[in-house]
Amino acid sequence: MNIENFLHSRHGAATTRTLLTAGFTRRVLANAVRDGRVTRLHRGVYTSRKADPDIVAAFRADGLLTCVSAARFYRLWTLGDPGSLHLSCSTGQARRGVVHHGDCLHPAHSDLPVAGVADVLIHSLRCLPELEALVMVQSAVSQALLSTDFLRSKLPGNRNGKVRGILGLVLPRADSLLEVLAHTHFTRAGLRVRMHVDVPGVGEVDCLINECLIVELDGGTHLEGKQVKKDQYRNNAGILGGLMTLHYYYADVVHHPQRMVDEVLVVLRNRETGRFGPFRYIASRPPS
């Protein structure tokens, strides 16, 4: 492997120690810099032409990416662009355009200037809005990177009471960020919610609310022709079994959650008042 490919495998940047350990000599490094294939960022760090700007910024600041800026390196779910860069810097000095976090107390990423997943999540719980932190933690738990009990043990005392409350919203299983968000919105509206319920004749559904209403949370694949047809047949099977179905998408759950909850409440009220019950069809009589 040449030095450019090696740097590419490290998102375009690496320390001298990493490069020497990988078998590149100082002569190779000097030649790569001379030929313009590699840039010496500062003493001890080399970058390629297409280096990841966040990785470069972390090396330049002698810090570690953390919180939402580190999420993508662990394949954690997020709710949008992180905006400012989130760093844990050894100097502790504030930098323009950077959200500075405290020291990291756990082992960092093995190859990158990225905080360990435990510190990433602890920082996110203390920094981000509730739901943004929740989806990151849920993603880590779903990947079995760590447990909520571990995080809870790292957040003692009264000052961490609010963030420990976020851990109580994490589900044992969530296949997408939509599921944990929808579950949170529905339960906070006072609804009884069961996730991943196996409904006879229908199969596994995302949410069963008040034992009478199925809510499916659909991603992009549900817009494909075969999947649409399959979903319609599942809806039919649910109705045959006495269960109605509502479908919601990313924009509904993430950007318009109150509208989604309000629609679910309307359907439940209509059911309770008999709007979906039997009725008598009265044909209009022709004038005599």
**Superfamily for domain range 177-272:** VSR Endonuclease (3.40.960.10)
Q: Is the pLDDT of residue 244 over 80?
A: yes
pLDDT confidence of residue 94? 59
Please report which confidence band the pLDDT of residue 168 belongs to, taking 50, 70 and 90 as the band edges: very high
pLDDT confidence of residue 233? 85
Query: pLDDT tens-digit profile of 73-92?
Result: 999 999 988 889 999 987 65
Q: Is the pLDDT of residue 54 over 60?
A: yes
* Over residues 264-268, mean pLDDT: 96
* Over residues 264-277, mean pLDDT: 88
Which is more confident, 283 or 186?
186
Beta strands across the sheet bearing 203-209? 193-199, 203-209, 213-218, 244-249
Please report which confidence band the pLDDT of residue 229 belongs to, taking 50, 70 and 90 as the band edges: confident
pLDDT confidence of residue 34? 93
State the pairing for strand pair 244-249/213-218: parallel
Q: In sequence order, what DSSP letters do the residues of 230-265 get, joined into one string?
A: HHHHHHHHHHHTT-EEEEEEHIIIII-HHHHHHHHH
What percent of the chain has pLDDT above 90? 75
pLDDT confidence of residue 277? 67
Please report, for the chain, the start and end positions of each structural domain, with discontinuous segments joined by +.
3-51, 59-167, 177-272
DSSP one-letter code for 159: G
**Contacts of residue 3, Cβ cutoff 8 Å, sequence gap at least 6:** 19, 24, 28, 29, 32, 37, 38
Q: Is the pLDDT of residue 13 over 60?
A: yes
d(CA 82, CA 23): 36
Q: Are 74 and 120 in contact (CB under 8 A)?
A: yes
pLDDT confidence of residue 284? 53
pLDDT confidence of residue 24? 94
**Contacts of residue 216, Cβ cutoff 8 Å, sequence gap at least 6:** 205, 206, 207, 222, 231, 245, 246, 247, 248
- Model pTM score: 0.87
Mean model confidence pLDDT for the chain:
90
Q: Is the pLDDT of residue 206 over 80?
A: yes
State the pairing for strand pair 244-249/85-89: unpaired
pLDDT confidence of residue 286? 57
